[in-house]
Structure 1
Amino acid sequence: MMPSRPVKPANRTARPARRTLLSMLVASLMVGQVQAADLLTITRDALENNADLAATRADTSSVEAGRDVERGDLLPQVNASGQVAHNEQFESQTSSFGSTGGSGGGASDDRYNSASLTLEATQALYDAVNSAELEQAERQIDQQTYQLAATEQQVLIDVASAYFDILRAHEILEARRAQERAIGRQLEQAREQFDVGLIAITEVEEAQASYDQSRADRIAAESDLQVAFEALERLTGKRYDSIESLGDAMTVTPPEPAKRDAWVDLAMDNNPQVLAQQAGVEVSRSGVEVSKAQRLPVVEAFANYQYADSDNSTLEGEDSSAQVGVGVSMPLYTGGRTSAGIRQSTYALEASQYNFEAQRRDTVQQVRSLFTQVSNNVATVEARAQAIVSNQSALDATRAGYEVGTRNIVDVLNAEQSLYDAIADHADARYDYVINLLSLRQQSGTLDVAAIEEVNGWLDDSENVSFTLPEEGRYDQALDIGEPPQPDA
Structure 2
Amino acid sequence: MQLCLLMLAIPISSTYAVDSKKGLGVYYIHGQPDGSATNVSNMPTATDSGSTVDVTDTSIDNVNEKKVSSDPQTKKERKLKKTSSSIENTESNSSGKTSGLQSVKNGLRKLIAPQSNENYRKVQLNELSNFNYNGDFVKELPSITPRTKTAARSKASSLKNVVRPYQTAQLSFFDAISLAVQRHPSITQSIASLASQNASIDVAKAGYYPQISGGVRTGSLTNSNTTTTAGRGQQLYSIDATQMIYDFGKVKSSVNVQEAKLLAAQANVLVNVDDIAVQVASSIVNIKRYQEICRIAQEQIDGIGRISEIANLRAKAGISSQADPVQAQSYLEAARSNLIAQQTQLRVYQERLRTLLGMDVVNNSWEIPESLVQSSEIYSDPEFNKIPRMMEAKAQVDVASYQKKQVQLSKYPTLNLTGSLSQAINGINQNNSKDDGFYSSVMLQATSNFYQGGATAAQTKAASYAEEAAKSQVNSVYLDVLNQIRATRENVENKQRQMQVLIAQQATTVRTKELYQEQYKLGTRTVVDLLNAEQAIHSANQQIESIRYDIYDNLVQYIAATGKTRDVYKLNNLSIQGVEIQP
Query: TM-score, normalised to structure 1's length?
Result: 0.72
Decide whether the 8 Å contact of 1:391 with 1:419 is kept in 2: yes
Q: Show structure 1 runs of 4+ deviating over 6 A.
A: 85-90, 110-113, 251-256
1:451 aligned partner: 568
AA at the equivalent of 2:354: E
1:27 aligned partner: none
1:199 aligned partner: 320
Change in Cα spacing, 1:39 to 1:386, as seen in structure 2 (3 Å) is: farther
AA at the equivalent of 1:327: Q
1:304 aligned partner: 420
User: Gapped runs of 5+ residues in structure 2?
Assistant: 9-171, 572-576, 579-583
1:223 aligned partner: 344
Q: Map of 1:12-27 to 2, 5 A cutoff?
A: none
Deviations 1:72-91 (A, max 9, x none): 233321223347x8999996
Match among 410, 432, 444 for residue 326 of structure 1: 444
User: Secondary structure, in 3 states, of the residue corresponding to 2:446?
Assistant: strand
2:464 aligned partner: 346
AA at the equivalent of 1:160: A
Decide whether the 8 Å contact of 2:414 with 2:448 is kept in 1: yes
Decide whether the 8 Å contact of 2:260 with 2:398 is kept in 1: yes
2:208 equivalent to 1:60: no
The CA deviation at 1:31 is 4.7
* Distance in 1, Cα, partners of 2:220 & 2:410: 44
> Which has the larger displacement, 411-420 or 427-436?
427-436
Q: Map of 1:392-471 to 2, 5 A cutoff?
A: 392-448=510-566, 450-452=567-569
The structure whose Rg is larger is: 1
Percent identity between matched residues is 19
1:178 aligned partner: 299
Q: Map of 1:44-59 to 2, 5 A cutoff?
A: 44-59=178-193
Q: Map of 1:107-122 to 2, 5 A cutoff?
A: 116-122=237-243
* Distance in 1, Cα, partners of 2:434 & 2:468: 66
Decide whether the 8 Å contact of 1:117 with 1:306 is kept in 2: yes
2:369 equivalent to 1:237: no
> Which has the larger displacement, 338-347 or 166-175?
338-347
Change in Cα spacing, 1:125 to 1:453, as seen in structure 2 (3 Å) is: closer
User: Secondary structure, in 3 states, of the residue corresponding to 1:244?
Assistant: coil
AA at the equivalent of 1:215: R
Deviations 1:299-348 (A, max 9, x none): 32211111233499xx9964211121222222222222222222222222
2:208 aligned partner: 74
Match among 369, 385, 395 for residue 279 of structure 1: 395
AA at the equivalent of 2:381: W
More strand by share: 1
> Which has the larger displacement, 392-401 or 32-41?
32-41
Query: TM-score, normalised to structure 2's length?
Result: 0.61
Aligned residues: 403
RMSD: 3.6
The CA deviation at 1:70 is 1.6
Change in Cα spacing, 1:88 to 1:390, as seen in structure 2 (3 Å) is: closer
User: Secondary structure, in 3 states, of the residue corresponding to 2:445?
Assistant: strand
The CA deviation at 1:223 is 0.8
* Distance in 2, Cα, partners of 1:252 & 1:240: 21
> Which has the larger displacement, 237-246 or 156-165?
237-246
The CA deviation at 1:32 is 8.4
User: Secondary structure, in 3 states, of the residue corresponding to 1:321?
Assistant: strand
Change in Cα spacing, 1:330 to 1:184, as seen in structure 2 (3 Å) is: same
Change in Cα spacing, 1:255 to 1:380, as seen in structure 2 (3 Å) is: farther
Decide whether the 8 Å contact of 2:210 with 2:241 is kept in 1: no
Deviations 1:453-483 (A, max 9, x none): 69xxxxxxxxxxxxxxxxxxxxxxxxxxxx9
2:411 equivalent to 1:295: yes
Decide whether the 8 Å contact of 1:253 with 1:378 is kept in 2: no
Decide whether the 8 Å contact of 2:208 with 2:243 is kept in 1: no
* Distance in 2, Cα, partners of 1:349 & 1:390: 62
Deviations 1:410-438 (A, max 9, x none): 22211221221222222223322222223
